[in-house]
């Protein structure tokens, strides 16, 4: 009798795992999708329209006042608490 209870509990565990997996797969199916060609076109448009200061070979030299990554000329802005 103990063996049958153990088999039943294992079967219930397997069933629960399958039901959970099925639910996750259904959620994945419901997720909205974007075609690769659309995503690529969007990424290319963004890269062409957004200036990247870290790639001067593409965008040319950056003026120090426009460069957010340039070290500040006012010295150290560190605050020790």
Res. 6: pLDDT tops 80 = no
61 falls in which pLDDT band (50, 70, 90)?
A: confident
> Cβ(70)–Cβ(53) under 8 Å?
no
> Cβ(53)–Cβ(62) under 8 Å?
yes
pLDDT digits 0-9 by tens, 23-55: 999 999 999 999 999 999 999 999 888 888 777
Res. 19: pLDDT tops 60 = yes
For residue 8, the SS3 value is helix
């Amino acid at each position: 009798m103990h063996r049958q209870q153990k088999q039943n509990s294992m079967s219930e565990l397997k069933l629960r795992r399958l039901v959970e997996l099925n639910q996750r797969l259904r959620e994945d199916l419901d997720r909205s999708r974007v075609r690769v060609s659309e995503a690529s076109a969007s990424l290319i448009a963004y890269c062409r329209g957004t200036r990247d200061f870290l790639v001067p070979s593409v965008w040319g030299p950056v003026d120090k006042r426009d460069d957010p990554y340039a070290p500040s000329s006012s010295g150290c802005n560190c605050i020790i608490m």
